Amino acid sequence: MEDQELIAKLRVEESRNFAFNQLVRKYQERIYWHIRKMVIDHDDSDDLVQDVFIKVWNNLSKFREDSKLYTWIYRIATNECLNFLNKKKKRFFIPLMDIEAEMVSKLDRNAHIDGDEIHLRLQKALMKLPHKQRLVFNMKYFDEMKYEDISEITGTSIGGLKASYHHAVKKIEEILSQD
């Protein structure tokens, strides 16, 4: 179902539940992987993706059609991710043990990796980036989203996004070249 049709059906009480079900089916995988690439752990991702769609449901009346439906959903997912990672950061009081190290250790345990060693090294290199920069990198590199859409999602200018992405690529290539 096209987004326009989904939106129209979501506005009508009789068809809202059905339309929401269609919306979830349409976007669940994209949103899940958007979150999973940030938090790594499946269980955390599962919780967050459910929270995201519940927020979508609760805020349907607030959705203004000045943005695309999927950028709106992505924006909610992005905020949930960042809030989750920031909360987790606050729980670590010992400076040596931070959230990136925890997530790298998860990668090392092989529980979440199903690919070549280079991809494990890539994920570890990504952990060294600030959260927002990693988000931008994921959306541009893995999801191949347009800068215009990323700008709508993050609220960052296109110029800022381009600079951030290119800086991220350079940093990752340096890290992987040193290994």
Partner 1 sequence: MKKFKLEDIEKKHGLKAPPERYFDELPGIIQAQTAHKATSKRNFAWSGALRYALPAVVVLLVVVFIIRGLNQQDLDPESMIADVAIEEVMAYLEETDISTEELIASVDWDEASLDFEKDLEGAGILDEIELQEEDMLELFQEYNITEEYL
Give residues in contact with partner 1 (CB under 8 A).
17, 20-21, 24-25, 28-29, 32-33, 36-37, 40, 42, 45-46, 49-50, 53-54, 57-58, 111-116, 118-120, 122-123, 138, 141-142, 169, 172-173, 176-178
Give CA 25 to chain center in angstroms.
Answer: 17
Sign of CA dihedral 133, 135, 138, 140: negative
Helix H or strand E encompassing 42:
helix 42-58
**Residue 142 beta carbon to partner 1: minimum distance, rounded to whole angstroms:** 6
Indicate the residue among 46 and 157 with the shorter CB distance to partner 1: 46
Nearer to partner 1, 49 or 136 (CB): 49
Contact criterion met (CB below 8 Å) for 16 and 9: yes
Q: Which is nearer to partner 1, 58 or 93 (CB)?
A: 58
Site of tokens 């999973």: 36
Label residue 19 exposed, middle or buried (CB < 10 Å: 0-12, 13-18, 19+): buried
CB-wise, 29 or 157, nearer to partner 1? Answer: 29
CB of 77 vs partner 1, minimal distance in Å: 13
User: Is the torsion defined by CA of 9, 15, 18, 21 positive or negative?
Assistant: positive
Tell me if 48 sits within 8 A of 40, measured CB to CB: no
Query: Nearer to partner 1 by C-beta: 90 or 178?
Result: 178
